[in-house]
Amino acid sequence: MRGEIASADAMIVYSHGKGHGHCGWGGAIKNIAMGNYTCKTRGAIHALIDTEFDWNEELCTHCYLCRDNCPAGAISFNEQDKLGINMHHCRYCMHCVRACPQETIKINQEGIRQFQTGMARVTKACLETFEQNRVLYINHVTNVTPFCDCWGFSSPSIVPDVGIFASTDIVAIEQASIDSIKTENYIQGSLPHPLVVRDDVEGHLLHKIHSKDPYLQVEETANAGLGSREYELKEIE
């Protein structure tokens, strides 16, 4: 953990809510887990998402739809027409799985939950250094874009601005923030290529975009005893 955080008496976690390629949603949990620790710890958390791919060569017709639908350019075929996946580039977006008409590619998705669990555990370690009610969370659910701000570029908002949330309960504020982003409010045409809202994926809008359930991190943080998923909204004008 960074020295400035470990020695602080109180903390305000000020987050811009947005989509995130690895965990669906990027808010207070992601900011603490990724922002309050060293590069070594962040690397170890990201390593938890590494998972297993299985390719059934006998079923493959080499239509290359998996390769052509990979937004990260992580899939290739060698001179022997064998599939290869560059794990450094892979975002675990599942586009290759859904693009294949023969269902030749399988991905073990357990690593996605392990990543969320890792974030929850380091978030807990950070928050345990503060006395009760010494941490305030503020989430701006405005200009909600599909990608994390760390990408260094922006894109149009995918839903209308919702507002600003504040709480001393990290689980409740994240639950409320994600709940406020609704599929029916999606702004058509706002997603940059090659992202799409997938009709074959059930659940939250960000789940349909990134194939990651944004509620997993909330569930794992609640399991760590950091708050309640139940909340009551009080509007202030």
**pLDDT, tens digit, 9 for 90 and up, residues 131-156:** 989 999 999 999 999 988 877 778 89
Range among 34-43, 47-56, 128-137 rated most confident: 128-137
Torsion region of 89: left, alpha or beta (phi above 0 gives left; psi -120 to 50 gives alpha): alpha
CA distance 215 to 221: 10
CA distance 97 to 93: 9
**Does residue 123 register a pLDDT over 70?**
yes
CATH code: domain 53-107 is 3.30.70.20
CA distance 31 to 119: 10
Tell me the pLDDT band of 51, cut-offs 50, 70 and 90.
Answer: low
CA distance 108 to 99: 17
- Ranges in the chain annotated CATH 3.30.70.20: 53-107
Angle at 199 between CA 195 and CA 200, to 5 degrees: 105
What average pLDDT does the structure give for the chain?
A: 90
**By three-state DSSP, how is residue 222 classified?**
helix
pLDDT per residue as tens digits for the range 159-181:
999 999 999 999 999 999 999 99
Name the nearest CA neighbour of 29 among 218, 228, 177.
218
